[in-house]
């Protein structure tokens, strides 16, 4: 059994087995890790209580009664089937919360059975320390900006096709950013899981190359971009896509117009304090009558004001923002953005 440091986890080629309880895993885990719990949530609580009240030896004795060795090996075989190697033991990385007894017990069992096992030094706790440190590092971030409906996500996709590094933060957050961004989507991940996935993308990027992101508010649905990373984003060059209002409106109607009408109205109600009572009333009436374009025309004007305020709250706006007037998103526009990028020094 070998132990590896948490700072090597970012480019870890081995399959990862998380032996914490299902509740711990479901709250947040190393992206891509498989759940192989040593204890159920209830069993973990019993062992923890025994440790506090009766000491380490009694807790271990209690835990041995829950150690279903045959079942664990069977489940591990199932999870690791895609990684089986001919004429060589399958390698696997195991971790628990602190790299202690749980991971040691499972590692012993799997090695006894024939796997080649590595244990994560410090466990998931050490991984989380690496996650938080990842947000402190400097990155050559470039921001795709523009009012709502400018096709910023589509531009990120096109940049990626051209070999550029991107991070689609809205995709990681499971939310498109506005009050309407969560309609028709699964629940968002926990804040901790969002941070884990975001940090993994950051650490797997090449620090010597541009890293493209979309201009975001710090809050996306119920999640927050970690403050240190968001501060770096706010101090990064912005490539502002200036599309006509009517073009953006058509884009928004195409994206949101077919969503559940009642959910759209609920979203309008959530922003009524900022939208204003009259605008809330009128946009709600338009939605109720099926006049989707008029409703979103009013709402888009609100979001334009909101975005413009955020844009001007940046320091050195004139130096940071490069504007690209256009009537549609084309290959030529992408080419212009990349050309402008090469002329802007980071930092």
Q: What is the pLDDT of residues 31-46, one digit of tens each?
A: 999 999 999 999 899 9
Q: Give the residue from 87, 117, 132 where a domain finishes.
A: 132
Q: Is residue 271 part of a domain?
A: yes
| Residue 242 sits in the same domain as residue 266 | yes
Say which DSSP state 121 is in.
T
Query: What average pLDDT does the structure give for the chain?
Result: 90
Residue matched to tokens 């759940």 = 35
End-to-end CA distance of the chain: 44
Q: Give the residue from 103, 132, 161 where a domain finishes.
A: 132
Q: Give the residue from 70, 99, 132 where a domain finishes.
A: 132
Say which DSSP state 39 is in.
S
The pLDDT, as a whole number, for residue 319 is 62
Gap between the Cα atoms of 136 and 75, Å rounded = 38
Residue of 4 and 96 predicted with greater confidence:
96
Bridge partners, 324 (sequence order):
241
| Residue 147 sits in the same domain as residue 294 | yes
**Whether the Cβ atoms of residue 235 and residue 317 lie closer than 8 Å to each other:** no
**Whether the Cβ atoms of residue 148 and residue 252 lie closer than 8 Å to each other:** yes
pLDDT at 214 over 60: yes
The arithmetic mean of pLDDT across residues 276-295, rounded, is 93
Looking up residue 63, the CATH number of its domain turns out to be: 3.40.250.10
Run of H or E including 341: helix 331-342
Looking up residue 239, the CATH number of its domain turns out to be: 3.40.50
The pLDDT, as a whole number, for residue 60 is 83
Q: What is the pLDDT of residues 111-129, one digit of tens each?
A: 999 999 999 999 999 999 9
Overall domain count for the chain: 2
Catalytic, 96? Answer yes
**Whether the Cβ atoms of residue 168 and residue 153 lie closer than 8 Å to each other:** yes
Bridge partners, 92 (sequence order):
117
| Residue 122 sits in the same domain as residue 159 | no
pLDDT at 316 over 70: no
Strand runs labelled E in 121-268? 141-146, 165-166, 211-214, 219-220, 223-224, 238-242
| Residue 220 sits in the same domain as residue 324 | yes
Angstrom distances, CA of residue 239 to CA of 60, 147, 288, 304, 317: 58, 12, 37, 17, 12
Tokens read off for 102: 């749980």
Q: What is the pLDDT of residues 177-198, one digit of tens each?
A: 888 888 888 999 999 999 999 9
Structural domain span for residue 171: 138-342
Residue from 9, 96, 166, 211 carrying the catalytic annotation:
96
Gap between the Cα atoms of 286 and 281, Å rounded = 9
Q: What is the pLDDT of residues 266-278, one digit of tens each?
A: 999 998 988 899 9
């Amino acid at each position: 059994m070998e132990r590896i440091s948490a700072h090597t986890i970012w480019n870890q080629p081995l399959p990862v087995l998380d032996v914490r309880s299902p509740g711990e895993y479901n709250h947040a885990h190393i992206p891509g890790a498989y759940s192989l719990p040593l204890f159920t949530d209830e069993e973990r609580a019993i062992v923890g209580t025994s440790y506090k009240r009766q000491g380490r030896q009694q807790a271990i004795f209690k835990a041995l009664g829950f150690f279903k060795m045959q079942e664990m090996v069977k489940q591990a075989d199932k999870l690791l089937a895609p990684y089986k190697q001919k004429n060589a033991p399958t390698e696997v990385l195991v971790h628990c919360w602190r790299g202690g007894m749980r991971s040691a017990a499972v590692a012993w069992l799997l090695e006894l059975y024939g796997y080649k096992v590595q244990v994560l030094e410090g466990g998931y706790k050490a991984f989380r320390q690496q996650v938080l440190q990842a947000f402190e590092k400097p990155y050559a971030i470039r921001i795709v900006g523009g009012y709502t409906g400018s096709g910023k996500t589509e531009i990120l996709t096109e940049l990626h096709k051209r070999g550029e590094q991107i991070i689609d933060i809205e995709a990681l957050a499971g939310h498109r950013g506005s009050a309407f961004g969560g309609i028709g989507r699964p629940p968002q991940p926990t804040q901790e899981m969002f941070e884990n996935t975001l940090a993994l993308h950051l650490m797997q990027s090449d620090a010597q190359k541009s890293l493209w992101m979309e201009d975001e508010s710090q809050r996306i649905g119920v999640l927050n971009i970690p403050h240190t990373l968001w501060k770096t984003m706010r101090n990064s060059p912005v490539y502002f896509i200036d599309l006509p209002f009517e073009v953006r409106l058509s884009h928004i109607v195409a994206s949101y117009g077919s969503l559940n009408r009642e959910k759209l109205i609920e979203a309008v109600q959530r922003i009524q304090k900022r939208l204003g009572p009259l605008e809330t009333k009128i946009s709600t009436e338009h939605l109720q009558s099926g006049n989707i374009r008029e409703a979103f025309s009013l709402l888009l004007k609100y979001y334009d004001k909101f975005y413009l305020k955020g844009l001007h709250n940046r320091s050195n706006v004139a130096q940071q923002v490069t504007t690209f007037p256009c009537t549609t998103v084309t290959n030529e526009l992408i080419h212009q953005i990349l050309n402008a990028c090469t002329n802007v020094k980071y930092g």
